[in-house]
Structure 1
Amino acid sequence: MSSAKRSGVAGVEDTLQNLWETRPVRPRAGRKIAGVSAAIGLRYGIDPILVRVAFVVGALYGGAGLVLYLLGWLLLPKEGDPMPGSAQPTRQPTGTAMAVLLVLLLIPSVFWLTSSRAIIGLALGLGALYLLHRNYGDRTAPPAPTPGPTSAPVVQQDANTWVYPGTTSAAEAPRQTPPSWDPLGVAPFAWDLPEPSEPEEEPAPRRPRRRWITFVTLGVAAFAAGLASVLGAPLEVSLAIALAVLGAGMVVGAFTRGGRGLIGAAIPVGALAVVLAVLPGTGFTGDFGDDEVRAAAPHEVAPHYQRSAGSITLDLRDLRIADGQEVRTGATVGIGAILVHVPSDVDITARCAAELGSVHCLSDSAEGRSVERSVVDQGDNGPGGGHIVLDLTVGTGDVEVVRD
């Protein structure tokens, strides 16, 4: 690589590093929502109204403005209370609870970035921020902390400042001047010199915590999950990818004293990924609770019953079916149980399935993950008496068909 290219890459890296270290602070006053536009305006000396207009236009231009605003809310620190003895406000990171909420909002927001117009809008927004900092980064930059003036203690000089050896100050000395008979201090009591003391070890400087690891990892996790979903991955896979990115960030943070806030984000993301992994992919209606059905005639039996969570009980023991007549029905439950009672003199064809749980399909049983059993049972009296066809599926739970 030529020297010009190396210097160009170094210039970009220096600009990005300085952009992160001196990034705008979301003020308390003048904000409309989270203070992102006000922070950018105050930092670079431009009217915040122009920044708000740019965000609105970006939101209408494929949704990129909304994603950029949420990222700014997540990554830009907020204005905190000044330290004691200082009038300069501190830079406080976004709270853990708010950071988790923003990541959860970013995941569906990234879904908007599916068109070329949205991707171009996102690239233009990030490029505009880079050029803005490159050209106006010296405006209202946060001042570097400067140590306060220190001065050595002033000792009052006068005619009598001599102290006896072994004392620390003139005030502790038993006399302010040597005795008149020994002006040169050669008397034995004047030879009592203090014992040399060991030099005090300077405390090791504390390594600063790198909070930027948390914010960068959260942003990368949200972007990776959104990109996976756009490419067609199931939601649980997208969440698993986000969880992997959060885990990598925690590993990096373990060596660099940062990333502690990632623990609060990884717990709900991991729990949601596990729940979605064990639930069936179809059949969710938002219905919860227990559903019990008793039918005495074929027209009273619905073609299908469904619950997202709860139980479904079909009591078909009183069902009267003529010879040669067939009744078909089924049930799907996300989390819960399915129980079907069938008559003793009716032919049964049943399919029982559970993604995680157990099935007891008349004379056949199984339990575990992704279990399925299909049974054809003509009862003790042999063929005849009508025909019932059952199709029963549960995501997490139990399926049972019993003949009474």
Structure 2
Amino acid sequence: MLGTMNDTAEAPKPQGLGGFEETVKDFWASRPRRPARGGKIGGVAAAIGNRYGIDPVIVRVAFVTATVFGGVGASLYLLCWLLFPAEGDEVSPIESLFGQGRSSMSKHITIVLAILFFPLSSWAFAGGWFDGGGIIGAAMMVTALYLLHRGRGHVNRPAPVTRVATDVGPAAFSMSAPGTTERAESGWDPLGADPMAWDLPDPAPPPAPAPPPPPRAPRRTSKIGVATFGIALLVAGIGAAIGSSGDAWFSPQHVIGLVLGVLGVGMVAGAFAGGGRKLAILAVPLSIAGVALTTVPVADYSGGLGDLRATPVSAAEVLPSYQRTAGTVDLDLTRLPADVPVTTEVHLGAGDTTIRVPATADVTYSCESQAGDVSCFGRESNGVGIAPITGVDYGIDGPGGLQLTLKADQGVGSLEVRRG
């Protein structure tokens, strides 16, 4: 089987591949090999980049994006780590685990990675991570790799690795000295002969040292990275200007999407023409910010930016609503008298909210954070899209005291409501 795979790996395919089955078989036979140097974590991205002649940074960005949008990137990366052999290895780590050849990765590490693969996959395909995005991300990643092999499968095909023979047959322990066949036929008795008269062969010369590896060709450089960065800044500036003029479509989410589109085109072009590697430094945080703005409607919260601190001492001083787009809200209601009922709301887009109420107040409450931590009278929740915590808390003295109705919600961050 290994010989067949090696023969296939040696045969270039300048005319292109045939159907789907032949493409898959050829991909398996000429899988990318994880380099001993130049890889970050396991060398998977570097292996794919070196195999198909593209910048490994593009591959890393693809895995990170697939992890952020759908959660499948981490499990696919781990799967490639288990299925791609390292340079100089006979087989992949998972094949070596089943005794099909030699791999430089220890079996203990292989088992740990294989066990880790299952919870990562269940997390990505469970449906809770952006509602099916894992399936879509996996399909896109597999399709991209398939098309990449169809178009560039003949490039940089890995050299075959011959299996080292370890079986030792009976011929290796032959007791006959070289040149003794004729003497045995003529009646020569080896036990009665002078051992110094044996015709021993000369020792084999030492093997010639391996030639040094050829120097690596210098990486091509171009102005694509600089040009892409300039165009991205121009798109961001124009989009922000149109959005500030009142056009609802040019929201921060859409502007970030446009900028990411420009960066993506620049990185793909730079992968083939050279350059554009540092664009990933800007693309990754923008992707995370885009996910946060898309998931959490921070724009629905008004009130401006900054910290808000209030300590009303009477019901008349309590505002109907305390609002901030981003910042910190600290509302102290512990000094309110118990004679007048109070109703108020707190809305915060991004940041931390702390609300303190009197120890004896009867509080009817609703606490919600669309992405973050909530602690409301000792009841806690955390995560994304969690239902609000609601209820009535009468305090340490039971029913009786200030009648307080409180509603607190925020987009992202931590929310705490406690007694003073």
Q: Which of the five TM-score ranges fits, normalised by the shorter chain?
A: 0.3 to 0.5
Radius of gyration: which is bigger? 1
Normalising by structure 2, we get a TM-score of 0.39
The structure, 1 or 2, with the larger RCO (C-alpha pairs under 8 Å, 6+ apart) is 2
